[in-house]
A and B are shown apart, each in its own frame.
Chain A
């Protein structure tokens, strides 16, 4: 965190000065480790084994916060009898379909009913009854209750197993577990911070899930000083999921309609409106969004222009889209503020995709490697590809920096912070807002005279932001105002999402952001110092939802509404005034702790007064996820696609539901373990001095001089084994590519001892490439296309590679067979049994698999 989020780390250092214990778990010793109290080096990709070990420790030693667990989590819920755990199935849950390479989730449900996930993929069931009354065991003794299932699932994650799997000595592991448990309970809380070190795995989502289980068991969610912080890759990544750049979501986590299913607004609303919990409000948000986008054209009679929305035909995530490009299925591509040739796995395949496009638009500060893939690239240097053979037409638009435009950043705490334009962007540089706005205007003008009904979505779209100045730049405040929402009749900003209606009388661009422009004032621009207000600092900027600084803050009070302890008081039930009060905006306003939903309750009325997790259908924190995940209801340790060892826990080697791309030459995979050609483990990361794929830093002298060349980091032991010298050169090789790089030999990298075997890890930052003031070769060239099944995130945190001393042999054709795998497949099994097809196979389209309500 000190490495990649030094400004956020300010608060960690403050906490440390106030007595907090900082534990850092990372394969290498980083700047964070340098100031941490405990550093735990572990094998890259063994996070779930480590976290599972902590879960095991908490359960075995009865260290969980019992009152919290019983009342606020689904620990007591009874599972269906059809459910079978990985314990029974050598690493597979019940419902595995090796024909389709996917799980059937039906057996994962609670006994007797179907439950809805919190966000994203929702089905259309009609079981409104909350579960706690009928199918639960508050004593947590029932062998089929979640708590007991959890206990059995994690029983093999012992400290010894952690040592064997992660390379973390059992005593060190125990010290970590003890420190965590010691710092939990009514008086104390602990927080987890993570970044892409957890997410960029084929088990990325389940890593976070494992942390969520720990935090729920220890009672660290919805309480001050608790929580799980996702440290985002760069500024406003939180914002770009709230108002998404994701292919399958609309603003505010409303799912994009399914082409084959959601034929009209009624069906769409019915599908995604949860009978219980907050998602019962769904139609208010979807209709308000349509009103914001299509204005007067959107009426109840025409489904508020629902049919104008694009609809999903399959998985169009980044890796799939690139694979489709390479397959000639994609004609044009916009790349805005991203440098995928450097920042994404398998740069060779990325460029292959770009070469097959008709046109490419790049908006960035500099002519990045993506903008100039046709001129400067390894395959062009090698002579495999000639520039004159590339037909892609590339349009480059220089972009304005954040100091050159108004706008907001949303950080990991869901805090929207406004930034003001300081100077005009130079020359032809323009903001994204300006570019998109004018592109929209031009398209509208182009189709102005069209009578074709298919052009109506474009023509009816509201696109009337006030533009001002010489350059006629749109006013960012006008956009924020629309995001906040307003009443259609008088255009007045609404106070928040509670004011939104499903009859078309309100418009709102993103329901969770509703309130950010309350009273016509830009709430996100507030800058009151924290010593002039309460310690929660509600008047610094604005956070969603409803300027609430902590989600699920109902959990900070006990079931009766009293704070768990004075020290950790946050919000509580004011008996005298019959309302919730406290330091923050409470989740509940007047719903008393004693409220229990009647049987005929619908929507948010089904959430009881002691159910803090209001976005969940049952109001509980989910230790066990009955619906919504593709790869199992509980986190399970699987190895990387390309690991050094056999899975020590199960016969199933890899995440069975992972996405793979079997392509002839451009994405070969290594053996799943013990691949003799690739005996070392490579993990990638970032440095403080550079920014992601380098577009913002490699062209700046003051940053470039601080880290002027690409390097890898190895332990003295590996250096000796491979003949590497500090400051010298090394060549790293995978089946995809090979790169050369400088070497730092350092005791910050340590060989790990796993079950008598020594595992050497190589670390390498991925910032450099072939352009800019400082250069180097990018390790992402080495990685294959393989992804997590839930969110299609690539796996960059571990592959097996070879390292050799010296520089790369120029013009070697890596893919020409020399390194192609030729070992007997049978000895190396990734799957038990092997799947016949798999998400991501071929071009990854899952469209044939779409099942109604379960995509």
Chain B
């Protein structure tokens, strides 16, 4: 693998990007967010809000570098993290400092905690393998909020329902790429067929390693590297620990751990009945 793209390769990538708008139907789609290409411009945040017509989150100065939207939430479906590190990137000549950006989004997990836990069936898996909340079904029970291992989905209090990224379901149905990927000027957010994205991502990591950026790695690219979620449909290329980006190092949807809980529940319930009957019999004597 050459570290340097040839002109022909670059143009063919361009063409691919332009063609990513078509051929959505019935295929597994996702995002590959390459944080080493992110310039923190927040175009994804704005494009997302504009396309989906999301309201603002208020106007509070947070003092958190250039991040004033803080986290993903009911009305923020793309969020760019700004991390000021006292450590240099291995390929950068800029003193002991680096500034990392990462555009976070719903991961559309292969095993999605929110979907499994949704009591109403409002959360469904679409034909694009994305996880989608139907706003006309959701009754705002809030259970998905505590079932997301990434802290993505949230209930908007004045609206009452849970909201999160839809992977631009409406755009996908019209054979268009999601708004954030379309708006990303540096192709840090890549949208496409999951299998192809995984290949692109592997190649990118190899190229980065080749150019000296040994710290680059993929987060959640597949079930092997992230067995808890069984892989993310929106995965990331990171250069520091996941926690630095406010991502969990080992996310597991609670459902995967709940079997023994049901067992102890059954035992306890039987115990309770036994206790009830026992105490009644005791009273009889």
Contact = CB atoms under 8 A, between A and B. Distances in A.
Do any beta carbons of A and B sit within 8 angstroms of each other in the complex?
yes
Interface of A: 2, 6-7, 9-10, 13-14, 17-19, 29, 31-39, 172, 175, 529-531, 535, 687-689, 701-709, 711, 726-727, 742, 744, 746-748, 750, 773-774
A531 B16 CA distance: 11
A688 B40 contact: yes
Interface string B115-129: 000000000000000
A129 B42 CA distance: 56
A699 to B, nearest CB: 12
Given A37-B92, A39-B95, A748-B84, 14 more contacts: A2-B39, A2-B40, A6-B186, A13-B187, A19-B3, A29-B94, A32-B39, A35-B39, A529-B18, A702-B46, A702-B50, A705-B57, A705-B59, A747-B84
A16 to B, nearest CB: 9
B32 to A, nearest CB: 15
Given A6-B43, A19-B4, A39-B94, A34 B185 contact: no
A7 B185 CA distance: 5
Nearest to B49: A702
29 contacts: A10-B187, A13-B187, A17-B207, A18-B4, A18-B7, A19-B3, A29-B97, A31-B40, A31-B101, A33-B99, A34-B99, A35-B39, A37-B91, A39-B92, A531-B14, A535-B7, A535-B11, A687-B66, A688-B42, A701-B55, A702-B45, A704-B56, A705-B69, A706-B45, A706-B69, A727-B61, A744-B65, A748-B97, A773-B59
B134 interface: no
A283 B37 CA distance: 51
A41 to B, nearest CB: 8
B15 interface: yes
Interface in B24-66: 36-37, 39-43, 45-46, 49-50, 55-63, 65-66
Contacts of A535: 7, 11
Contact of A689 (B42, B86, B186): B42
A750 B39 CA distance: 21
B68 interface: yes
A747 B86 contact: yes
B159 interface: no
Contacts of A18: 4-7, 10
A727 B39 contact: no
A38 B94 contact: yes
B56 A702 contact: yes
Interface string B121-164: 00000000000000000000000000000000000000000000
Contacts of B84: 746-748
Nearest to A169: B95
B202 interface: no
B96 to A, nearest CB: 9
Contact of A34 (B39, B49, B69): B39
B100 interface: yes
A535 B14 CA distance: 13
A208 to B, nearest CB: 25
Contacts of B100: 34
Contact of B68 (A2, A37, A172, A707): A707
A688 B187 CA distance: 17
A286 to B, nearest CB: 41
B243 interface: no
A52 B56 CA distance: 48
Given A7-B185, A709-B61, A33 B5 contact: no
Contact of A705 (B7, B58, B86): B58
A703 to B, nearest CB: 7
A705 B185 CA distance: 21
Contacts of B58: 705
A175 B93 CA distance: 10
B98 interface: yes
| 8 A-B pairs with least C-beta separation | A727-B63, A708-B59, A39-B94, A6-B41, A19-B4, A701-B56, A2-B39, A34-B99
A172 B95 CA distance: 10
A688 B41 CA distance: 6
B93 A706 contact: no
B51 to A, nearest CB: 11
A268 to B, nearest CB: 46
A726 B97 CA distance: 18
A9 B39 CA distance: 9
B11 A531 contact: yes
B14 to A, nearest CB: 7
A242 B65 CA distance: 39
A222 B94 CA distance: 31
B245 to A, nearest CB: 15
Nearest to A705: B56
A705 B5 CA distance: 38
Contacts of B46: 702-703, 706
Nearest to A704: B59
Contacts of B187: 10, 13
B55, B63, B101, most chain A CB atoms within 10 A: B63
A21 B195 CA distance: 31
Interface in B203-253: 207
Nearest to B45: A706
A31 B99 contact: yes
A34 B61 contact: no
A10 B68 contact: no
A13 B93 contact: no
Contacts of A172: 93
A38 B93 contact: yes
A31 B39 contact: yes
B69 A531 contact: no
A33 B39 contact: no
Contacts of A707: 66, 68
B211 to A, nearest CB: 8
A689 B207 CA distance: 31
B236 to A, nearest CB: 17
Contact of A774 (B59, B65, B94): B59
Contacts of B185: 6-7, 9-10
A19 to B, nearest CB: 4
A34 B10 contact: no
